[in-house]
């Protein structure tokens, strides 16, 4: 049997595929990543970039399996960003050192009890009012602000840094997957043919196409739709959740700079979940109402709004709930992989590497006449605003 061209081929250049490629290269595997659109084009550039630390914020604050999976992620990511981690991400940077949590004035005492509990001590820090960000300087409505052990990434920069790490091994194309004895053949539309010892598909929603080939039912993958809200000419930078009595944030706000320098708020949480059943105009009306309730002193008179529909694509759980960690499904030489969260890409790579045979020690092929994909634009660069 002839040796395959690469030990591992990856389909999909979102965070999962790019992180895995960097780990494979560092471990000495000959590898190739094929992206059929642009890097980050799926969920990754649509994400808010929050590296969750696993704290559950419901008032009955539980630390559950989800939390355990996430607990060491901020430390692991920060190590990579400062050059001392498993991959060197010094080319990327944080958008915010700490994601914040604010409590409405009316709920301050309940929240304070929770944050004073042993469970969360050392993982959150109460901020004095002088240190609250400008957007939250409204003590009539904001009762308390806490800094969480969570950081927020600049995702476009992260993708550019990962693309640099994978340079030469990241290519643009659409491949048909043909499993054969001992290896997997990838037939590209341009007539190229690549053989790989293993195939790992980190194609997000694109993984669904491969389910039948692996003998898996379509229900083995799931999508959770959202309609995110964007606010152009946002009043002030803010990276924060606002919680009250639900275990889900009412709003999760991150701030992003457009190429023209203007600030955009990207807003998820319950607002975006409830937005799924609303028109864009309905979402915008609900958002204006929510901001008027939560932060009534902020001035949105210059702001323009937009809705952005996007699905979370995940490996399915039996009860249809969000998986607690990364999900891998392997049949023979093909693995389908979903990180569940951007933050969990390092853990997904651990799981894939643990399931691979050792590298063969073969030379990394180069394909000088095969184009690399570009990094996709972020949603806030391309939307129409109202
Ligand atoms: C609105 C939103 C906000 C989020 N916020 C956060 C957050 O703050 N923190 C967090 O940890 N997680 C967050 N997430 C989750 C996170 O974005 C995803 O878990 C993560 O980005 C998934 O990465 P991925 O690489 O698996 O998939 P994707 O990012 O979807 O990448 C898949 C890639 O595969 C490509 N592709 C598809 N089909 C093929 C094919 N056949 N061949 C080749 N390439 C293909 C696509 O073009 C795409 O580039 C958020 C998700 C959403 C939707």
Residue nearest to atom 52 of ligand 1 (CA): 47
Cβ of 252 less than 6 Å from ligand 1: no
Q: What is the pLDDT of residue 66?
A: 55
Q: What is the pLDDT of residue 65?
A: 47
The domains of the chain, with CATH numbers, are 6-44+157-222+316-382 (3.50.50.60), 97-151+223-311 (3.30.9)
Cβ of 342 less than 6 Å from ligand 1: yes
Distance 13 CA to ligand 1 centre (A): 9
What is the pLDDT tens value at each position of the chain, 386 positions in all?
578 999 999 999 999 999 999 999 999 999 999 999 999 999 999 999 999 887 755 444 444 445 667 778 999 999 999 999 999 999 999 999 999 989 888 876 666 666 666 656 667 888 999 999 999 999 999 998 999 889 999 999 999 999 999 999 999 999 999 989 999 999 999 999 999 999 999 999 999 999 999 999 999 999 999 999 999 999 999 999 997 777 788 999 999 999 999 999 999 999 999 999 999 999 999 999 999 999 999 999 999 999 999 999 999 987 777 788 999 999 999 999 999 999 999 999 999 999 999 999 999 999 999 999 999 999 999 998 98
Cβ of 327 less than 6 Å from ligand 1: no
**CB-CB contact of 143 with 104 (8 Å):** yes
Cβ of 49 less than 6 Å from ligand 1: yes
Distance 103 CA to ligand 1 centre (A): 30
Residue nearest to atom 50 of ligand 1 (CA): 47
Cβ of 48 less than 6 Å from ligand 1: yes
Chain-centroid distance of CA 265 in Å reads 17
């Amino acid at each position: 049997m002839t040796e395959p061209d690469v030990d591992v081929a990856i389909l999909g250049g979102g965070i999962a595929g790019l992180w895995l490629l960097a780990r494979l290269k560092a471990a000495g595997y000959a590898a190739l990543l094929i992206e059929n659109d642009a890097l980050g084009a799926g969920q990754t550039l649509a994400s808010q970039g929050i590296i969750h630390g696993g704290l559950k914020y419901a008032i009955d604050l539980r630390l559950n399996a989800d939390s355990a999976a996430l607990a060491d992620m901020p430390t692991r990511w920060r190590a990579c960003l400062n050059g001392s981690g498993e991959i060197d991400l010094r080319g990327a940077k944080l958008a915010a050192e700490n994601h914040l949590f604010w409590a409405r004035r009316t709920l301050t005492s309940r929240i304070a009890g929770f944050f004073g509990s042993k469970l969360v001590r050392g993982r959150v820090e109460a901020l004095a009012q002088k240190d609250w960000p400008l957007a939250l300087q409204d003590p009539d409505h904001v009762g308390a602000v806490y800094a969480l052990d969570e950081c927020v990434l600049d995702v476009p920069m992260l993708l550019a840094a990962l693309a640099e790490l994978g340079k030469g091994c990241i290519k643009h194309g659409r491949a048909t997957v043909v499993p054969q004895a001992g290896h997997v053949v990838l037939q590209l539309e341009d007539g190229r043919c690549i053989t790989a010892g293993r195939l790992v598909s980190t194609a997000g929603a694109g993984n669904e196409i491969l389910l039948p080939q692996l003998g898996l039912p379509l229900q083995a993958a799931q999508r959770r739709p959202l309609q995110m809200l964007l606010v152009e000419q946002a009043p002030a930078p803010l990276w924060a959740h606002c919680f009250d009595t639900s275990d889900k944030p009412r709003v999760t706000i991150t701030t992003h700079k457009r190429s023209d320098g203007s600030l955009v708020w990207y807003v998820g949480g319950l607002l975006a979940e409830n937005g799924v059943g609303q028109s864009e105009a309905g979402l915008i009306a609900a958002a204006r109402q929510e901001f008027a309730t939560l932060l009534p002193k902020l001035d949105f008179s210059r702001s323009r709004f937009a809705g952005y529909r996007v699905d979370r694509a995940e490996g399915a759980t039996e009860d249809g709930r969000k998986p607690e960690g990364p999900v891998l499904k392997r049949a023979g030489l093909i693995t389908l992989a979903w990180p569940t969260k951007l933050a969990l890409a390092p853990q997904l790579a651990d799981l894939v590497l643990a399931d691979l045979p050792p590298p063969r020690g073969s030379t990394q092929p180069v394909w000088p006449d095969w184009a690399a994909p570009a990094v996709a634009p972020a949603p806030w660069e391309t939307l129409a605003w109202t």
